[in-house]
Amino acid sequence: MAKRYGIAVFRNKGDVISCTPVAAQLKADEPDCHVTWFSSTRHGTVLENHPHVDELVLLDGDPAGLDATLPALCARADLDELFTPAAYHNYARRPGAAIFELVQASLDRPWTVPFVFDVRLTGQERAAAGAWWEALPRGPRVLVETEFLSDQSAWTDACASEVHEALAGLDPLLVFSAGGRPPFLDALLARGARALWCDRPFRWNLEFFNRCDAFVGVSSGISTLCCASEARRDVPRLEFTRGWHWSAACLPGLPSLRVAYSRRRFRAELVRLAARLRGAPAPAAACAPSGPPRCPLCESGTIAYARASDAAYGRCVPCGHVFRLPGPVADLGPPPAPAQDPALREELLELALRAHPGPSQAPSVFESHAAAAPAHARSDVVLDLGGLDRADDPHAWLDRLHERLAPRGVLACLCANRDALGWLALGADWGPRAAGGLRHLWSRDALRAVLAETGFRILGLRAHPGPGGNAAARAALRTLRPDAPETALPALVEAVLAEGRGDAWLALATPR
């Protein structure tokens, strides 16, 4: 007998949309199964016309309060199993993961279908939405999402002015799609902006996105809708969100997506978007501002000493990034050549080739310390052994490496770990620090963020012993645990790596 499954997601349209791959996987595993989706009246209508949902049950009431109905739904005799795949139900399954990764982790069965959101407009919806959009004034038309219900974005009303100012040379029409009239709209119009409020049905935004010249979103419902299978992949899009957890940067197949996790990056990406709409190359990165030290990632001026034993480095309080404070820079030089550690280079190359989807015979390899390659040259593999640690501007450095990669190429990046046991134990005598030239020490989150902000999708990220191999971890352990017997050190070294406290991070990434 065919099984009957239930899926329950009540809160937020974005949550509902992001869970649609679960229905696709159930149908792929058991084509004859019956899928009933329980949702709220307010948000569940996004599932209308869905090919993998046999029955849609919409419940009245506050969407958040409807979670109280889950025990009763689980006890229903007509359901073989009830799934609750929304991210907020699954944090414990994969701590630290992005929202969409948590949805994937919710299903205790192998994923065999692409993790792609499925929203299907009817022909009538597409025609009505298309007619409304095409009746708008001519010129570049930018769809903008500004409403969100959680803390996923640092968007404020002032951001609307920044969008207008960055794109003003194009004289675009800014279409603010929202349930309520934007409070900043009148002020924008008074400054001469071409802007309007769109209050059309939510699902229509999928057609609007497919017809717009660019999209600016805040990782809320419309942003998620625009990742659906029927959405175009070539629309320039900018996502302003607080970090990896809320971002679509983990999703494959979004080559035109740019993300900004700080106000500084948002402004920089708006300049890049304006250049793209003009058909111009991306502008060079701006010089760092003078004055008191600021974080090179998020531009915050709230800086604390990173280590009492090593006052040369500051830690950004908001984002946690560690960087060298202004001062004597005589020890700052170019990154060391990977040839100094051929075994490490070969290890990274082998890992990159395993991750590369194409043939591994005679792959083209670009090494970040090398002289600039011709502009047309793109490589299957880019190796960066310490270059990111020494870059004045990490974003500009990774933009350069991105330009050197073929569309399906792989970047293998090894960089210093902010939480390395060696730095804790040895301070300024720690190997990567003592070698000189170290401008940045990376946390897992900061590295993940900067890769996402520069157009990469992460394939793997783990702690690594670094150039010194396990000897560096052994030296740190001997300092911290002088009583530990030699025979215990191998197990302790493995524990150090498992806890993410190796000397380095090893990241494998590919262009989105």
Q: What is the pLDDT of residue 320?
A: 87
Nearest to 16 by CA among 168, 129, 119: 119
Q: What is the pLDDT of residue 37?
A: 98
Superfamily of domain 123-278: Glycogen Phosphorylase B; (3.40.50.2000)
CATH number of 4-105: 3.40.50.2000
For 279-326, the pLDDT digits (tens) are 988 876 554 445 678 888 888 888 887 765 666 888 888 888 999 887
Long-range Cβ contacts of 254-257 (<8 Å, 24+ apart):
254/227, 254/512, 255/407, 255/511, 255/512, 257/455, 257/512
Q: What is the pLDDT of residue 483?
A: 76
Which has more confidence, 313 or 509?
509
Residue intervals in the chain for CATH 3.40.50.2000 = 4-105, 123-278
Among the ranges given (292-306, 310-324, 372-386, 457-471), the one the predictor scored with the smallest mean pLDDT:
372-386
Three-state DSSP class for 86? coil
pLDDT at 80 exceeding the cut of 60: yes
Q: What is the pLDDT of residue 372?
A: 53
Q: What integer is the mean pLDDT of 410-438?
A: 84
Ranges of H-type helices in 312-410: 342-355, 387-390, 394-404
Domain 308-511 has CATH 3.30.70: no
**Geometric angle at alpha carbon 345, from 375 and 334, rounded to 5°:** 60
Q: What is the pLDDT of residue 327?
A: 59
- Residue 205 · residue 225 · CB < 8 Å: yes
Q: What is the pTM of this model?
A: 0.86
Strand runs (DSSP E) across 96-255, as ranges?
141-145, 173-177, 194-198, 214-217, 237-240
Question: What's the CA gap between 470 and 502, in Å, rounded?
Answer: 9
DSSP label at residue 254: -
For 123-171, the pLDDT digits (tens) are 999 999 999 999 999 999 999 999 998 889 999 999 999 999 999 999 9
For 239-251, the pLDDT digits (tens) are 999 888 888 998 9
Q: Residues 6 or more apart from 494 whose CB is under 8 A from it?
A: none
Q: In this structure, what token pair is assigned to residue 307?
A: 């280590």
Question: What's the CA gap between 418 and 505, in Å, rounded?
Answer: 9
